[in-house]
Amino acid sequence: MADVSGPSRLAEPDEAISAEELQLAARNHGIPLEALRYDVTPAGLHYLLIHYDIPELDPAAHALTIGGAVDRPLTVSLAELRERPRVTHRVTLECAGNGRALLHPRPVSQPWLVEAVGNAEWTGTPLAPLLREAGLGPDALDVVFTGADHGVERGVEQDYQRALPVADALREEVLLAYEMNGAPLLPQHGAPLRLIVPGWYGMAHVKWLHSVEVRTEPFEGYQNAVAYRLRRDADDPGVPVTRIEPRALVRPPGFPDFMSRRRVLRPGLCTLDGRAWSGHAPVVSVEVTTDGGTTWEPAELDPAEGGDFAWRRWRHEWTATPGRYVLSARATDASGRTQPVEQPWNRGGFANNLVQRVEVVVPAE
């Protein structure tokens, strides 16, 4: 497959976004930042990443198999899953590559800026009871999830597969989801069945899920052992990408210039707001700057009504006077993690939670 799919690479210092990257950006999309106003992101505005093709699946015939190192292999139809205990979790999903296109040098891949995020209500049945029914042996180590999407990546032909350590797969909040925001999953969001792993980056939430396999040895599939690892260079084995790093986004105020997206804001009192989240621990504070990071002020956090794995709204009162400004917000979670002002670099462009910069012009009246 080397003649079809090349190795990963970094963009040259002056290299523009390629036609291949533009093609990816046209297939996948981020949330329009004005949609940060919604507590729950409408399905059509939620960020989207599709690794290969959207498979054609029949919900009436779809079944999930659970096998491998288990005592009692199971095959469960979608209808049978719907008869099991029904749970809804509000969960913020973020792509592990969010912010990649802002790095220097730029890893050549899906060129995300900061919009690869969404906060939805996912309904399904917990995975853990099914694993316990199948019977995990004491030597069970990894649980491998296989989706129906098939393709080639960096020369490797594959089904999309990701694994979780057994302890993470047995978390009660991990869902086999069949609904999004109270409606059946849309094809692009994994219909008819997907995995939801609250707190983890989006690569773990396997879409079009059809099989679960328990293994007694570490899973060495491409998406675990090669992709989604934090590495400094091509020879570095790296460490796996797992939980979402803290991030806050500003809902851009005023109105935009069509081409540059630079914001225009009338003078006067303005409520700046946005959303903040983390997969490690609940967000406990957000700070805001209106002068490009020279000074920071505390923002007010709304109550965490969506639960531990959903974003929280923050707000800050600002009196805008004529001039040019750069607005940013940074989140801190209960584990002590805070967004960096200068982003550490890694070859894949993963877990990049550098503070967002929103350019604002306040014209004189």
Domains contained in the chain, CATH given = 9-239 (3.90.420.10), 247-362 (2.60.40.650)
According to DSSP, residue 291 is labeled B
**Residues 262-293: tens digit of each pLDDT:** 999 999 999 999 999 999 999 999 999 999 99
β partners of residue 331: 286
pLDDT at position 1 is: 67
pLDDT at position 7 is: 85
Which residues of the chain are modeled with pLDDT < 50?
none
Average pLDDT taken over every residue of the chain: 96
pLDDT at position 4 is: 83
C-alpha–C-alpha distance, residues 97 and 109, integer Å:
9
Query: Nearest CA to 274 among 318, 320, 308, 241?
Result: 318
C-alpha–C-alpha distance, residues 205 and 279, integer Å:
14
Q: What secondary structure, in 3-state letters, does 9-31 show?
A: CECCCCCCCCHHHHHHHHHCECC
Please, which residues have CB within 8 angstroms of residue 327's CB and are 6 or more apart in sequence? 250, 253, 272, 288, 289, 290, 357, 358, 360
Query: Nearest CA to 327 among 362, 357, 287?
Result: 357
Tokens read off for 355: 């503070």
C-alpha–C-alpha distance, residues 255 and 318, integer Å:
17
Please, which residues have CB within 8 angstroms of residue 318's CB and are 6 or more apart in sequence? 269, 270, 271, 272, 288, 290
The tokens 């306040």 sit on which residue? 362
AA identity, residue 229: R
Strands 63-68 and 209-215: parallel
**Residues 221-267: tens digit of each pLDDT:** 999 999 999 999 988 999 999 999 999 999 999 999 999 999 999 99
Buried residues in 102-120 as b, exposed as e (16+ CB within 10 A): bbeebbbbbbbebbbbbbb
Phi, psi angle pair for 282, to nearest 5°: -60, 145
